[in-house]
Amino acid sequence: MKNRKAFEAVAAAVVLTGALSTPALATTQPVFFNVLNATSTLTTPFASGDTLRLDTLVTQEFGALDQSITFTVAAGVTEFFGRATWEVSTPEGPGPRLVGVNIDLLDASDSVVASDTVEGVLVGFAVSSIAGAITPGVYTLRATGNGVRESSLDATISLVPEPQSYALMLAGLGIVAFCCRRRA
C-alpha cells in the first residue's frame, strides 16, 4: 500500500510537471500556397510549442518561387528548429521539380536570422534543416527557388520554450527514475 501511495504521488508530480513544462494549447498553423509568388501575414502570435507550416503545391506556373509568411513570436520562446522537403525529381521526366531552394528566417528589419542547410536528396526529395536562437518579435519565413515544372514544398518552423521548462520536465523524469529504482 505504501508503494502505491508513493507511485500515485510521483504520477501526480509528473502530470503537474508536464502541465507546467509544455504549452497547454500548442498549435500548428498551416499556410497553403498554390502560386509561386505569395505572401501571408498571420495575426495570432506564436507561443512556445507552436509550429508554423508552409505547404506549397503549384501545378499551373513555372519559374521563380518567392513565398513569405510574416508572423509574431510571443514571450517565452528562445529557440526554433525546422525542416523542409521539396520534390526535385529527375531533370528529364514527369513530376514536380523545384531547384535552388533556400529557406530563410528574417527579422523585422529583413536581416537573416538563419538559413537552411540542405541535408541531402533521397528518392526525388531534397531535405533541409534550419535552427537557431530567437526572441519575441516579428519574423518572416521566406522560401525561394525555381519551379522547373510543378512545385511541391513543405516547410515547418517549431518554437521551443525557455530552458526552465526543460528543467521542470527533467525534474519530473528524475523523480520517476528515483521511484522506479527504489521499487526494484
Q: Residue 170: is its pLDDT beyond 80?
A: no
| Residues linked to residue 6 through DSSP beta bridges, in sequence order | none
Q: Which residues contact 15 (CB under 8 A, 6 or more apart)?
A: none
What is the set of domains in the chain, with CATH numbers? Answer: 25-162 (2.60.120.380)
Amino acid identity for residue 182 in this structure: R
Cell representation of residue 68: 513569405
Q: Which of these, 150, 180, 138, lies nearest to 46 by C-alpha position?
A: 138
pLDDT of 133 higher than 70: yes
pLDDT band at 117 (very low <50, low <70, confident <90, very high): very high
Q: What is the C-alpha to C-alpha distance for residues 96 and 109, in angstroms, rounded to an integer?
A: 33
CB 141 within 8 A of CB 157: yes
More confident residue, 43 or 89: 43
180: pLDDT strictly greater than 70: no
What pLDDT, in 10s, does the model give residues 33-83?
A: 999 999 999 999 999 999 999 999 999 999 999 999 999 999 999 999 999
